[in-house]
């Protein structure tokens, strides 16, 4: 209002970036805030808490963000319900764990592999994508919920397989002491022999949370750019068309099976990507880490954030991760301190059947998580930040309905 007529000169950099308009856009604003927080996070948290624990946690949360971005391709873009996403995550993680640890030395192969992380990142990605394509090929002809059920079955089978094939994967003993990534990558590796050609001293990530944090941040940024471009491509529009009306999309000449298969494989590939990172950063891969709960949690992140909207999904993933790993975990001790502050400290001691207030609240965690899920869905079934396109469509539908009602009334 203050500058009514003057048009910004396109020559200035400020105007050319259209920053003023872009900040007004909700999604861009979210990206901006996320980027600023992400860049400031390691230093800020170190100054506040004096340890890099929060950075390590953020690096772990990054795995979930990657998973959510990947599942968003399947569920949000193409509208295919995948209830076994953790299976692809497991495939990626085991892919790295098997070929970058001493595990295979005790397998029937009797030879340990130590392939570099940077290679296995992409191998894990392709193996997961291949698994997605193999699973999807016979089943994507099916409609609707059948796919959900097939993926659910697949998600149950894969961790069980890793558990049962214990002479290869170690089964319940998990795979430990997995190689940590090191830089520069091209100098180490099985072909380099001993440390013969070291130009620069190798930098091993070992247990430095900041290194993993930077790595996962780069991975997320790459993933976001890739997925955004996909979304705007011909393929992305085909996905949306299939999501809205498969029959109409087929009539428009879209090969529905190939398009869905691509969504499935691309979504799975991000999971494999995340899996390799998870194996490297956590150093331990166990079949228990890929159960149905993981698939469900990622799905909740996607739906809660706003299906089909990438920044929304990232926020959803961070929010759910925070609720699960900080809020609910810290709740018992918080409640205890509140109780002692209120002079109700006697509640904190356990006696007989009463496990103490902290113990009782700890038992409540599951229930609270359920309550949060139900409550959030009832309040905002479309998610925190629904995709703009979806929002427009919903609004449009409502308008059309009103119009038809308005037409019918006078026609009486």
Residues at the interface with another protein (CB under 8 A): 75, 81, 138-139, 142-146, 148-150, 152-154, 156-157, 160-161, 163-164, 292, 296, 299-300, 303-304, 307, 360, 363-374, 377-378, 381-382
In the bound state with another protein, the residue whose beta carbon lies nearer, of 195 and 401, is 401
* Minimal distance, residue 202 CB to another protein, in Å: 41
Q: How far is the CB of 327 from another protein (least distance, A)?
A: 15
| Minimum separation from the CB atom of position 306 to another protein (A) | 10
Nearer to another protein, 201 or 375 (CB): 375
Choice between 27 and 360, CB closer to another protein: 360
Residue 10 or residue 138: which is nearer to another protein going by CB? 138
**Minimum CB distance to another protein, residue 63 (Å):** 21
Minimum CB distance to another protein smaller for 348 or for 387: 387
Cα Rg of the chain, angstroms: 25
Instruction: Assign 3-class secondary structure to the chain.
Output: CCCCCCCCCCCCHHHHCCHHHHHHCHHHHHHHHHHHHHHHHHHHHHHHHCCCHHHHHHHHHHHHHHHHHHHHHHHHHCCCCCCCHHHHHHHHHHHHHHHEECHHHHCCCCCCEECCHHHHHHHHHHHHHHHHHHHHHHHCCCCCHHHHHHHHHHHHHHHHHHHHCHHHHCHHHCECCCCCCEECCCCCCHHHCCHHHCCCCCEECCCCHHHHHHHHHHHHHHHHHHHHHHHHCHHHHHHHHHHHCHHHHHHCCCCHHHHHHHHHHHHHHHHHHHHHHHHHHHCCECHHHHCHHHHHHHHHHHHHHCCCCHHHHHHHHHHHHHHHHHHHHHHHHHHHHHHHHCCCHHHHCCECCECHHHHHHHHHHHHHHHHHHHHHHHHCCCCCCCCHHHHHHHHHHHHHHHHHHHHHCCCC
CB of 5 to another protein, least distance (A): 43
**Of residues 208 and 246, the one with the C-beta less far from another protein:** 246
**Distance in Å, CB of 411 to another protein, minimum:** 19
Closer CB to another protein, 147 or 219, in the complex:
147
Q: Which is nearer to another protein, 113 or 369 (CB)?
A: 369
- Smallest distance from another protein to CB 365, Å: 7
CA distance 43 to 63: 20
* Least distance between another protein and beta carbon 344 (Å): 20
Nearer to another protein, 367 or 405 (CB): 367
Work out how close the CB of 360 gets to another protein at its nearest, in angstroms, rounded to a whole number.
Answer: 8
- Helix axis angle, 310-322 relative to 26-49, nearest 10°? 30
């Amino acid at each position: 209002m203050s500058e009514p007529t003057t048009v910004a000169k396109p020559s200035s950099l400020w105007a050319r970036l259209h920053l003023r308009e872009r900040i007004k856009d909700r999604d861009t604003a979210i990206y901006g805030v996320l980027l600023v927080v992400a860049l400031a996070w390691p230093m800020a948290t170190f100054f506040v808490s004096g340890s890099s624990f929060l950075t390590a946690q953020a690096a772990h949360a990054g795995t979930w963000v990657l998973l959510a971005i990947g599942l968003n391709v399947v569920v949000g873009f193409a509208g295919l319900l995948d209830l076994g996403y953790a299976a692809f995550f497991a495939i990626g993680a085991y892919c790295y764990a098997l070929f970058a640890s001493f595990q295979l030395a005790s397998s029937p192969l009797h030879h340990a592999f130590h392939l570099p992380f940077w290679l296995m990142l992409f191998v894990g990605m392709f193996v997961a994508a291949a698994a997605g394509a193999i699973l999807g090929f016979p089943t994507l002809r099916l409609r609707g919920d059948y796919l959900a059920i097939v993926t659910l079955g697949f998600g149950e089978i894969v961790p069980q397989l890793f558990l049962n094939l214990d002479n290869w994967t170690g089964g319940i003993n998990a795979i430990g002491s997995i190689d940590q990534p090191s830089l520069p990558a091209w100098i180490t590796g099985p072909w380099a022999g001993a440390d013969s050609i070291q130009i620069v001293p190798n930098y091993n990530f070992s247990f430095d949370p900041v290194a993993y944090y930077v790595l996962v941040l780069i991975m997320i940024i790459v993933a976001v750019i890739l997925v955004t471009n996909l979304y705007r491509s011909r393929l992305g529009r085909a996905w949306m068309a299939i999501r809205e009306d498969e029959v109409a999309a087929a009539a428009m000449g879209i090969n529905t099976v190939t398009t869905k298969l691509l969504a499935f494989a691309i979504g799975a590939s991000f999971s494999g990507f995340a899996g390799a990172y998870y194996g490297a950063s956590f150093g331990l891969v166990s079949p228990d880490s890929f159960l149905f709960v993981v698939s469900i949690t990622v799905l909740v992140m996607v739906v809660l954030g706003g299906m089909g909207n990438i920044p929304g999904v990232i926020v959803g993933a961070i929010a759910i991760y925070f609720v699960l790993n900080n809020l609910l975990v810290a709740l018992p001790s918080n409640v205890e301190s509140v109780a002692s502050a209120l002079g109700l400290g006697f509640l904190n001691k356990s006696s007989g059947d009463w496990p103490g207030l902290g113990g009782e609240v700890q038992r409540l965690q599951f229930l609270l998580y359920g309550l949060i899920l139900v409550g959030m869905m009832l309040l905002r079934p479309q998610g925190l930040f629904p995709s703009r396109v979806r929002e427009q469509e919903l609004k449009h539908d409502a308008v059309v309905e009103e119009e038809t009602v308005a037409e019918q009334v006078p026609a009486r």
